[in-house]
């Protein structure tokens, strides 16, 4: 298992070292109020509140490309705007998944596992949820110890 993990990490590191860094800022973006293509789009839009208000906001706050459409400039200042929601999503999805996994493992060890899957055992569910709060650490421990994945001999293969 550790050999496969090392190969995977090495391959990712090699791939990332070969990639050329992307420019941090886009030089072709201009404020939308100065973009001729954006002004043409704005002039050809229907005259209503639902078109005028967004165009007004875009022209004040956003940057436009050559196509006249608003774009978000890529910069390291904006990286946090993406990293925080992505990290929270990943943590919450992992929390839900790990808690569910822990509940199913605990219910499998009980006297009546089928009953615990139909009727929720709340004390067991709360314990599983608490375990799920530290899922990144538990994931790393199980990954390095080999408990996370089943052994090849434990996986049933249908005879053909």
User: What pLDDT digit, counting tens, does each position of 93-146 carry?
Assistant: 999 999 999 999 999 999 988 998 889 999 999 999 999 999 999 999 999 998
Claim to verify: residue 65 and residue 85 sit in the same structural domain: no
Mean of pLDDT values over 44-63: 88
Q: What's the number of domains the chain is made of?
A: 2
Does the global pTM surpass 0.75?
no
Domain assignment of residue 128, given as a range: 79-154
pLDDT confidence of residue 96: 97
50 neighbors 56 (Cβ within 8 angstroms): no
Claim to verify: residue 67 and residue 84 sit in the same structural domain: no
Closest by CA position to 103, among listed 129, 78, 69, 79: 129
Is 25 part of a structural domain of the chain? no
User: What are the angstrom distances between the C-alpha of 117 and each of 54, 123, 130, 135?
Assistant: 50, 14, 19, 22
Is 137 part of a structural domain of the chain? yes
Is 19 part of a structural domain of the chain? no
């Amino acid at each position: 298992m550790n050999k496969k993990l090392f190969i995977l990490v090495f391959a990712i590191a090699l791939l990332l070292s070969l990639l050329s860094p992307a420019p941090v800022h886009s030089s072709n973006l201009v404020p939308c109020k100065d973009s001729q293509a954006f002004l043409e789009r704005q002039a050809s839009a229907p005259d209503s509140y639902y078109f005028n208000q967004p165009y007004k906001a875009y022209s004040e706050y956003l940057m436009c490309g050559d196509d006249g459409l608003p774009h978000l400039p890529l910069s390291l200042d904006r990286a946090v705007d993406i990293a925080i929601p992505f990290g929270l999503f990943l943590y919450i999805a992992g929390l839900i998944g790990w808690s569910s996994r822990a509940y199913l493992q605990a219910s499998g060890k009980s006297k009546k596992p089928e009953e615990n899957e139909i009727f929720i055992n709340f004390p067991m569910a709360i314990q599983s949820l608490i375990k799920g709060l530290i899922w990144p650490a538990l994931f790393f421990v199980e990954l390095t110890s080999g408990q996370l994945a089943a052994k090849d001999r434990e996986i049933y293969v249908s005879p053909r």
